[in-house]
Structure 1
Amino acid sequence: MVLVEREVREVLESNLQLKYRKDLDILYLRWFRVPDSEQLRQGYLLAFELAKEVKSAYWLFDLRSRGQLSPEDEAWMLQTFFPKVEEELGHKNYFSNLVTPSHYSYIKECIGIDYLQNFSEQSKLGVFVSEQDAVAWLLKSRADR
């Protein structure tokens, strides 16, 4: 079991960068390759642990290399991950999602930008194709808070 966990962690670490920028108070999660379901969920849960540790409410998810999710993983994100963050952190969180133009079109047509922007009182989600716009939205969200 320990060997499997270590192997999963090594693969995950080569797929994912987690970094907290204290100067901006933004937690960055960058995918470098398409993860499988287990890696995806572990990656987001690791980001959640880091957010708890640094007490950040501002997240930037760089999804350009991660790609679109399977319907099961999409459901896990929306029905399990975000509610877990809300419940355990107990404060408003801002999730800025950086995507490719084709992923943006998919989100717009199949999920709905309005749906994500109004996801819940505790979780605010923005979707952007420019990292500058993604960061600016987070900084503006902090100023409006």
Structure 2
Amino acid sequence: MVEREILEGNLHLTYRKDLDILFLRWFRVPDSAQLRQGYLQALELAKEMKSAYWMFDLRSRGQVSPEDETWLLQTFFPRVEEELGYQGYFANLVTPSHYAYIRDVVGLEYLEKYGKIIKLGIYTSEQDAVAWLLESRANR
């Protein structure tokens, strides 16, 4: 059951009330401005829906520039923590090559211990990502 949906350019935002998950799916690689605008739109929708569970489908988005990666880790996620003020779970669905980059360059351990109230998961299977979100909700 879709409660709220936004389709704009290369981004599709969907809040599924039945799963209590906000889905952010990229259709193609965004430029820096589109990327930042898309994530901020997702934050606004999450606040509106009071969603704590997010699924970022990054397979078509691909890797971002080092500047945008820094923006995500040092600006966006801290802003999410500040504005939401409650535990948030972010499943990131990536390609195998993107997973290898995250594992080797960013570090899975770094992301696992990323924030005080933000939990980040990296997955190559949508089924595993959704299962992690649902399990996180059950254990909350």
TM-score band (shorter)? over 0.9
Q: Does residue 96 of structure 2 align to residue 117 of structure 1?
A: no
**Aligned position for 2:55:** 60
1:98 deviation in Å?
0.1
**Aligned position for 1:5:** none
- Point out where structure 2 has 5 or more consecutive residues left out of the alignment: 1-6
Q: Deviations over 1:2-53 (max 9, x none)?
A: xxxxxxxxxx812000000000000000000000000000000000000000
Post-superposition, which runs of at least 4 consecutive aligned residues in structure 1 deviate over 4 A?
A: none
The TM-score with structure 1 as length reference comes to 0.91
Give RMSD over aligned pairs: 0.8
2:112 & 2:20 partners in 1: Cα distance? 21
After TM superposition, the structure 1 = structure 2 runs for residues 55-134 of structure 1, keeping only pairs within 5 Å, are: 55-134=50-129
Q: Deviations over 1:61-107 (max 9, x none)?
A: 00000000101000000000000010011011000000000000000
State which structure, 1 or 2, has the greater radius of gyration over its C-alpha atoms.
1
**Aligned position for 1:24:** 19
The TM-score with structure 2 as length reference comes to 0.94
Of 41, 46, 57 in structure 2, the residue corresponding to residue 46 of structure 1 is 41
- Point out where structure 1 has 5 or more consecutive residues left out of the alignment: 1-11
State the identity as a percent: 73
More helix by share: 1
1:109 deviation in Å?
0.2
1:24 & 1:76 partners in 2: Cα distance? 29
Q: How many residues align?
A: 134
Instruction: Specify the SS of the correspondent of 2:25.
Output: strand
